[in-house]
Structure 1
């Protein structure tokens, strides 16, 4: 949800509040904005996009538009607020985003009215923070007049109406473009393919997609701002790995869906080149493992989705997430709280969030892989004595018999790299 026409709304509210009633802009809490944005986003998703409930990427994508609307209203109230994206531009972006998600025009209208209603209702139930004077300075009472609230509501609905017109027009234009370019037809075919579970191939699919379903496929997700951006990232990856062809579809949630097609099996070196190329791009990506045939087309896409879902649980996620590297984490992080408890139980003080603990964990992990002090020192670029000192610290922390649980230790070290290092 976005808003336009801020000038007229701001003038209305300035007239309503006046210089004496204008709130102290220094009292505006960003925490309040974040909480309100999340609540409104959840309500819009529940009412307008129920099929996307529980999707973190969709929530984050929708929240971007909600946040700009809330901040637009806040600025119109003379309330201090953080920087935001251009309001008029984001209104059009919202219409395009809804169209690319595959939702009809009516959803744009419903999203605005639900969001506007929830903004006024929830802001009022919070006591109008930012708009109201400090309650402590007024004996605990929130002194916001009915006239001010009425003007606030009028201004907010005025914003929503203006922004909605921009979004509706953008949705119609985007839908026409998707239909003309064949994206709607390709999306329907992809939906049919991904929903199936057998190996049957319709001969018409290749022609409809402009992509051959034989050979080997790598599924990708690209968190790009628009088609040109996503196409640039995909073309660079295609060239770097000598892929035969590529397929790009408008985003599900915030990510463009893509595949790279190869004539034969993909080597480990090609897979490494692809990962490095995506790491060097300017956006977040996720990739599945190379898989053959129509079943591989489905499986690699699902792996890319699972890899991307790990991002929210990652303490410091790399720009490109490869399912090949994260398959163990994917298996173990379905219950993050249990995973964190496992890390604490296995690593004890070694799971602490200090730099020293992180250095010792890194040394231990490399040593367990190399099995030699010399190789560990060479890989980490440190002296052998440093390796010995750090391993001595491991013995002090975990006890002399820690290698009796080597498998559990290796798993805990990998999980600790993903999770925000939990303090025991």
Structure 2
């Protein structure tokens, strides 16, 4: 009798447990889908913010060049963004993450759901790796490529041939950038010799991988291109060539500042749990305060050095702070982030001055200093707050990125110079590249020669 009763109770319990387990599985499936949708949407929104940085670069550069070169610089920025999107789709993404030559299509992400769902159900919560659509990952990655190429356009402004620049953009976004991206964010061995991650290299959102790489490509082009006519006197003394629209440059800086929240915040790669939500909030906070620290430090240094509060140095100081914190915005305290940004703001003033006066590097917008010098600073500051990185790894990583990008860019620029030429004629430069390259002026009633 007792045995029969036990058997009956066991059968009842099993019958009632089965629907409960099925219900729990349904709940976990719904929770997974919620996280998947949340992380995918977060990726897309952050990617859109980074895409908006293209407008920031356009406005900043248009404001810091002379009026007769404004339409051409805007043309370059829209064209380079478009080229970046197509080249990264055709081959760049595959080289950087897929190991192939041409990308036949972007995985929409559905194929990862079964495996990820099974692992998620076992955990029963939002923790663990992020899960999102493959298409959203591509979109987030492609706007980073365009950012790297945008850095080049300002440094070579006012004297480079438009089509030579666009030809370089094809190679930069389709091959040069994806290769160094594969060695860093994808973790591939560098020419089969060493793995940067194993050496302790870390670059959270791209101080080196994106910003220093863009500056290295720009430096190679500027060296071969030479300075603008009238930039240096007979004894090599630098002469100021003011931009035409500082309000526009200021607007561009604020747009970049805003877009940087997507740049750094999206690099957390996940939003769907408490730990990562807190990480995203800290990244936003540190990104903002680093920019503020950089702006304040730069304007103070400019006052001490030049006796005036130079607006262009203030703008570049804010950008310098942003570039500096990009290498690691998640681990510093807000106070440290402010100090790191301030260090970038101080450095950028000295770097712009040194490149101009000592090395005779003519960079109309200060891009090489903002993104190159401060990108290196950002990499070197990472080990101070991130115990997974090492100074040795950061130095090796920085050298790898710079040598690869600068070397290959110098080769490509040299080929373009020999085949089609990269610089407009002296007469065309005097008339302005708006007329000679685009056939129209941005300010037809107010343009000044």
Q: Judge same fold: TM > 0.5, yes or no.
A: no
Higher strand fraction (1 or 2): 1
What TM-score do the two structures reach when normalised by structure 1? 0.28
Structure number with greater CO (CA < 8 Å, separation at least 6) is 2
Higher helix fraction (1 or 2): 2
Larger Rg: 1
